[in-house]
Amino acid sequence: MEKAAQIQQLLLRSKRLPWLIICLALIILGGTILAGRQQLREKMRSQLIERDGEILHAVALMHLQEFEDDAASDVFGAADSKENLLTVLLKTSRLKGVLAARLFDPSGRFVEAFPVDAIETDLDARDLSGLKQWQPVSHFQAAGRLSEIFLTAAAEESADSPVPLLEVNVPLHFRQKDRLLGIAQFIIEGQSLAAQFARVDRNLTFQALAAFGVSGALLVAALSWAFRRLRHVHGLLAARTESLLQANQELALAAKTSAVGAVTSHLIHGLKSPLSGLQTFMNSLNPAQGGPPMEHWEHATAITRRMQMLINQVVSVLREEQGFRQYELTLADLSAIITARMEPLARQKGVQFSTQCVIDEALSNRAANLITLVLMNLVQNAIEATPSGRSVRIAYGRAADRVVCEVRDEGPGLPDGVRSKLFSPCHSSKEHGSGIGLAISKQLANHLGADLELKSSNSEGCVFFLTLPASSMAAESNEAL
């Protein structure tokens, strides 16, 4: 459970993590949209390039069909003759934008070209595989050179500027596609095609930016909401985990306190009789008849009397907790009981002890007994921590609907290392202290529904508050009636 709490605290402290994940998601989204735009751009360009090839292919087949009929072959000769293929090439090249045309045989070797200054060249062998499948093959050059097509352009350096060109290779065959008659190559100006490419790129860029903006905004909103919810859930989980840890500690402390209470009950009953005998023995000794020195005798007698008083008090509390006897005590009565029991210790330490009670609230005997144990422990600690000549004060007052018992001393205050674990057992600021007194007092306060807290601690002293709801005490009083 502690490990889970550490992980949750780490997540709560990682304020940059959500923004890093959002940025990473936006980068992935942008990359996906960019890759999709690039694929769509290439596909649309390929369709535009192939469109001219399909048109020229259809026109060339239409002209070639004129020589396919038997009647036409009697007049013009065989349809696959060089002259007829050149006629088809010329008729097809009349389309707008055709700059030059070449005729190749089925093996890709050069046959004839128009105009006459067109440079002779063989067909690229890589294009033959597609042409033999009766499919036109097109190539676009964004920066082509006319000097590579015409001899006159090669002689004029001023006319050799880069221009967009489209090369379309069309297979010439009959409708039955039984054999390839030849290959017609057309060189077309590509300015209009380049303009279409630019339009397509602009449209795709605008659409990609719009898609990124809309989807990115939705993604950021969704992730931000999700991280806010996650942080809220983590906060609740951390709070609940902290509550569970604190509850486990309190349960463990309650179990230990219960065990200590059982042992204490057994020990108290076991010590009561021997201690009574010890007190009788101390009272029977007389320093004047050879007993111990007077100061030692008085000190031992005081300690024995105090021990007997504490044991009687604990026995009384245990007896009333287990019995059915019920009665009421006011805060003034409670203050008088605590004063009577703590005044001897204060005089012995040279500390001035005073009480102040401005309210008169009735308590049941059970609540009063437990409050007495808590306050006596606080007062005893305060007296032991306060130097001689200074004072300890206990005051009873009201804050809203709650009764507050304030114990104030003028000691040196608590060390920083003790404050954080003040109500945990085995943590004490005394030289020989066990640290269990305040832990038991805290459990007794919780049993009453009260709050025991250290209000302040500095070089001028400590202030403890025992806060008990007035409604709870009234309920205790009503039960007593």
Q: How confident is residue 479, by pLDDT bands cut at 50, 70 and 90? A: very low
| Phi, psi dihedral angles at 352 (to 5 degrees) | -80, 120
Residue 346 has pLDDT above 50, yes or no: yes
More confident residue, 277 or 469: 469
Per-residue confidence band for 1, with pLDDT thresholds at 50, 70 and 90: very low
- Once rounded to an integer, what is the mean pLDDT over residues 120-149? 88
| Farthest-apart Cα atoms in the chain, separation | 168
What band does 221 get if pLDDT is binned at 50, 70 and 90? very high
Residue 416 has pLDDT above 70, yes or no: yes
- Backbone phi, then psi, for 341, in 5-degree steps? -85, -30
Q: Residue 106 pLDDT more than 80?
A: yes
Residue type, 67: F
Q: What is the pLDDT of residues 249-298, one digit of tens each?
A: 777 666 555 545 544 554 555 555 566 666 666 666 655 555 556 655 66
Distance CA 448, CA 472 (A): 8
Q: Which of 64-78, 244-258, 334-348 has the lowest mean pLDDT?
A: 64-78
The region of weakest confidence among 38-47, 172-181, 340-349 is 172-181
Owner of token pair 């459970």: 1
Spacing of C-alpha 170 from chain mean position: 63
SS (H, E, C) the chain: CHHHHHHHHHHHHCCHHHHHHHHHHHHHHHHHHHHHHHHHHHHHHHHHHHHHHHHHHHHHHHHHHCCCCHHHHHHHCCCCCHHHHHHHHHHHCCCCCEEEEEEECCCCCEEEEECCCECCCCCCHHHHHHHCCCCCEEEEEEEECHHHCEHHHHHCHHHCCCEEEEEEEEEEECCCCCCEEEEEEEEEECHHHHHHHHHHHHHHHHHHHHHHHHHHHHHHHHHHHHHHHHHHHHHHHHHHHHHHHHHHHHHHHHHHHHHHHHHHHHHHHHHHHHHHHHHHHHHHCCHHHCCCCHHHHHHHHHHHHHHHHHHHHHHHHHHHHHCCCCCEEEHHHHHHHHHHHHHHHHHHHCCEEEEEECCCCEEEHHHHHHHHHHHHHHHHHHHHHCCCCCEEEEEEEEECCEEEEEEEECCCCCCHHHHCCCCCCCCCCCCCCCCHHHHHHHHHHHHHCCEEEEEEEECCEEEEEEEEEHHHHHHHHHHHC
Whether 42 has a pLDDT exceeding 70, the answer reads yes
Residue 374 has pLDDT above 80, yes or no: yes
Query: Which pLDDT score, from 0 to 100, does residue 266 have?
Result: 47
Give the span between the Cα atoms of 469 and 474, in whole angstroms.
Answer: 9
Q: What is the pLDDT of residue 218?
A: 93
Q: Which residue has the higher pLDDT, 427 or 310?
A: 310
- Round to whole Å and give the CA distance between 348 and 344: 6
Q: How many CA atoms lie within 13 A of 40 on its CB side?
A: 14
Torsion on CA atoms 127, 130, 136, 138, rounded to nearest 10: -40
- Does this model's pTM top 0.85? My answer is no
Q: Which of 66-75, 165-174, 177-186 has the lowest mean pLDDT?
A: 66-75
At 329 the pLDDT is 81
pLDDT, tens only, 67-101: 766 444 444 456 668 888 888 888 888 888 899 99
Residues contacting 347, CB < 8 A, separation 6+: none
pLDDT at 425 over 70: no
d(CA 162, CA 165): 9
Mean pLDDT of 311-319: 61
What pLDDT was estimated at residue 408? Answer: 94
Section 51-68 average pLDDT? 85
Predicted local distance difference test score (pLDDT) of residue 365? 78
Say how far apart CA 423 and CA 276 lie, in whole Å: 33
Q: What are the chain's domains?
A: 25-204 (3.30.450.20), 326-480 (3.30.565.10)
137-144 and 461-469 strand pairing: unpaired
| 391, 354 Cβ separation under 8 angstroms | yes
Radius of gyration in angstroms for the set of CA atoms belonging to the chain, rounded to a whole number = 53
Check if the beta carbon of residue 383 is closer than 8 Å to that of residue 422.
no
d(CA 358, CA 337): 16
Give every CB contact of residue 457 below 8 A, 6+ residues apart in sequence. Answer: 413, 414, 419, 463
In which band, very low, low, confident or very high, does the pLDDT at 481 lie, cut at 50, 70 and 90? very low
For the chain, the average pLDDT equals 79
Q: Determine the average pLDDT of the residues in 221-231.
A: 88
Share of the chain above pLDDT 90, in %: 25
pLDDT tens-digit map of 384-396: 899 999 999 999 9
